[in-house]
Amino acid sequence: MSRRDLLAMIGTVAGSVAMYNAMTTLGFAQASTYDGPVKLEGDPKGASVLVLGAGLAGMTAALELRAVGYKVQVLEYREKAGGRCWTLRGGDKYVELGGFEQEVKFAEGNYINPGPWRIPHHHYGVLDYCKRFGVKLEPFIQTNFNAYLHRTDAFEGKPVRFREALTDYRGHVSELLAKVVNQNALDEAVSADDAKLLLESLKTWGVLDENYAYVKSNDTSEFRGWAKEPGGGVDGAPVPSEPMTLSDVLQSRVWQHLVDGDSIEHQSTIFQPVGGMDMIAKGFEKEVGDLITYNAKVTKIDQSDTGVTVTYVDSQSGEGAETASADYCICTIPFSILGQIEHNLSGEMTAVIDSMSYAGSVKFGLEFKRRFWEQDERIYGGITYTNLPISLISYPSTDYFSDGPGVLLGGYSWGATAYQFNAMSPEDRVKKAVEYGAQIHPQYTEEFSNGVAVTWHRVPWVLGCYGIWADKENQYATAAAMDGRTLMAGEHISYLPAWQEGAILSAIDAIKRLHAHVTAA
C-alpha cells in the first residue's frame, strides 16, 4: 500500500470532511463565489427589464436592477413571492395539481418548509441578504449523536443511536488498521515514525485499549453511551455499554449515513430563519413588492430586435389577458413550466428547455400533541435516518422544551419512492408517513394530531423539485447565454442546484452580463 493509498483510506474512514477540504483546496468543491453586495457601474439610460418569476432569483434581479436605475416590472404566478422558498403554517391552504386541497391545522408558531430548509455556512449570498433585510437566523441541527439510525433489516428492526453506530464503526476500523500497522505490513511505504504516530492517532480516534483493541470499557462508553448513566450517591457508578460487533455494524449498513453531516453543504454551522424559510422571501418582498404583479400566469413570450412582450392572464381564473413590455427580460420560470409556454426563443435554447427534467420529492409535516422526542428520548434537533420509504425524520431546531404541540419533518423522500407518494391522496400520504414513523417512534400512534404532505411534481408553479440536465457539459453555456433580449436565471442555471444560493448567484451573474450589454450599447 502506498502512502497515497493509506492517506486516502484514512480519509475515507474518517469521513468526507477531509475529502471535501482537500477538494476545496484543489478547486473542486469551493464555497459560494458571492463576493459582497452587487456593484453595477454605468448608466442604463432608462432601459427597462421585465422579470418573470418572483422567487429569490427574480427578486434579486429586480432589487439590484432597480437600484442602479432600470425600470423593472415583475410578473409572479402566485399570490405571494418566494417560489420554492415556501413555508406552510396553521390556517394556510394549498391546492396541488389535480385539485387536492390541504388545509394546514398546525398550532400557532408551528410550521413546515416544503422546499429549502437549511442554509449552509458558506452560502454567503443568502446570508448577506438575510443580514441586509434583518432576517433573524438560528442554528439548524444537522447531526445529532442522540438521534437514530434505523433499518428494517438490522437489529431486529430497532433503531440504534447515531453515537453508538459511529463509535463502534470507528473503533473497529481503527483496530483493524492498527493491527495492519503492528504487523509491519506497511513498512515499505510508511516510515517507522509515521507508523508510530499513526498508532497513537488510531488509539485516540478509535478509543482503543493498550492492546489497540476496541472493547467494552468506560472509555468507549464515554462516546457511545452507557448501559447505566453516571449518577450521584451510593449507586452512582456508571455501567459500560456493550459495543456491537464489527460484523453487526457492517451488515446493518447504518454506516451509510454516518458521513451525511460531514459534506461541505451540511457541516456546522447550518442556519434557518426564525419562524420559517419564507422569512427570506418576505425580506425581499418588502424591498421589491411594489414592482410585482401577482397572480400573473405567463402564456406567451415574444421577443424582437427591440424588446420583449409578455402576455399573461389571471392565474386563478385564466381570464383577462394583458401584456407587459420591456427592453429586456430576465426569465426565472423553471424550465418544466417554460417548456409549456408559447415563446420564440432560439432553437438552441428551446432544445435545452425541452430536455430538462425535474426531480421528484416529497415532504411530510406532522404535528404531534407533545414533543415526545425531547421528553421521552432526549432528542433535540438533528435527523434520524431510515431505510423506510420516509427516508428520514428531522426534529425541530427551535422551541426546545416547549409544552405545546410540535411539528416534525416526518419524511423527505426522492426518486421512485416520491413517485409512489405522488400517486396517493394527501390524506393517504400522511397516513403512511405516520405508520412508517411509528416503527421508530411508537409514540406516533397516540400522539399524532394532523399533517400535510407536499409532493413536488404536483406543485403547480414548478412541477418538480429542481432541474436535472440531460447534458450539462454541452448545454449549460447555451442556457446561460443571452438569447436575443432574454437571459435565464434560477437554481437550474447554476452549479448549486436545488439551493437558494444557486438561484441568487445565477441572478447576479445574469444582471451583470445584462448591464454590461446595455452600457456597452
Give the domain CATH number at 200.
Answer: 1.20.1440.240
Cell 424550465, residue located: 335
Q: Are residues 412 and 453 in the same domain?
A: yes
For residue 372, what is its C-alpha cell?
A: 415526545
3-state secondary structure 411-448: EEEEHHHHHHHHCCCHHHHHHHHHHHHCCCCCCHHHHE
Residue 366 has pLDDT above 90, yes or no: yes
Q: Which domain holds residue 343?
A: 48-76+294-355+470-520
Q: Are residues 430 and 451 in the same domain?
A: yes
222 SS3 class:
helix
**pLDDT at residue 135 above 60?**
yes
**Whole-number pLDDT of residue 232:** 85
Residue 2 has pLDDT above 70, yes or no: no
**What is the per-residue pLDDT for 262?**
82
The answer to whether position 423 is within a domain reads yes
Q: Can you give the CATH number for the domain in which 500 is found?
A: 3.50.50.60
> Does residue 180 form part of some domain?
yes
What size, in residues, is the chain?
A: 521
pLDDT at residue 31, rounded to an integer? 66
Quote the cell numbers at residue 128: 448577506
- Across 14-32, average pLDDT: 43
Are 280 and 64 in contact by the 8 Å Cβ rule? The answer is: no
Are 493 and 368 members of one domain?
Answer: no
Q: Which three cell numbers stand for residue 106?
A: 398546525
CA distances from 231 to 221, 228, 234, 238, 311 (A): 14, 9, 9, 7, 72
Q: Report how far apart, in Å, the C-alpha atoms of 84 and of each of 2, 61, 227, 284, 466 are.
A: 48, 16, 45, 14, 10
Q: Which residues contact 348 (CB under 8 A, 6 or more apart)?
A: 478, 483
Distance, in Å, from the CA atom of 67 to the CA atom of 511, rounded to the nearest integer, reads: 12
pLDDT of residue 280: 98
Q: Which residue has the higher pLDDT, 233 or 371?
A: 371
Q: pLDDT tens, 298-348?
A: 999 999 999 999 999 999 999 999 999 999 999 999 999 999 999 999 999
Note whether 392 and 433 are same-domain residues. Answer: yes
Closest CA relative to residue 479, chosen from 349, 334, 308: 349
H-helix or E-strand spanning residue 273:
strand 270-273
Are 184 and 238 within one domain?
yes
**Among residues 426, 458, 490, which one ends one of the domains?**
458
Arithmetic mean of pLDDT over the chain: 91
Whether residues 303 and 420 fall in one domain: no
Q: How far is CA 206 from CA 91, 172, 175, in A?
A: 51, 7, 7
Domain boundary among 429, 458, 487: 458
Report how many domains make up the chain. Answer: 3
* Domain annotation covers residue 250: no
Residue 49 has pLDDT above 90, yes or no: yes
Distances (CA, A) of 333 to 54, 60, 344: 9, 14, 15
Question: Are 201 and 177 members of one domain?
Answer: yes
Residues 454 and 371 in one domain: yes
- Domain contains 42: no
pLDDT tens across 218-257, in order?
999 999 999 998 888 888 899 999 999 988 988 989 888 9
Q: Residue 278 — φ and ψ, nearest 5°?
A: -70, 0
How far apart CA 381 and CA 397 sit, in angstroms, is 5
* CATH code for the domain in which residue 404 is found: 3.90.660.10
Residue 376: inside a domain, yes or no? yes
Taking alpha carbons only, the member of 7, 20, 9 closest to residue 262 is: 20
Give residue-wise pLDDT tens across range 268-303. Answer: 899 999 999 999 999 999 999 999 999 999 999 999
At 24 the pLDDT is 38
Residue 9 has pLDDT above 70, yes or no: no
**CA-CA distance, 194 to 208, in Å (whole number)?**
18
In a domain, residue 285? The reply is no
CA 150-397-143 angle, to 5 degrees, is 45
Distance separating alpha carbons of residues 113 and 273, to the nearest angstrom = 11
Do residues 443 and 488 share a domain? no
Pairing mode, if any, of strands 48-52 and 71-75? parallel
Q: How many whole angstroms separate alpha carbon 6 and alpha carbon 372?
A: 45
Q: What is the pLDDT of residue 187?
A: 62
The reply to whether 64 and 135 lie within a common domain is no
Band the pLDDT of 368: cuts 50, 70, 90. very high
Closest CA to 475 of 491, 492, 500: 492
Task: Quickly count: other Cβ atoms within 10 Å of residue 12's Cβ.
Answer: 13
Instruction: Give domain status of residue 408, yes or no.
Output: yes
Alpha helices in 440-499 (DSSP H): 444-447, 472-480
Does some domain include residue 168?
A: yes
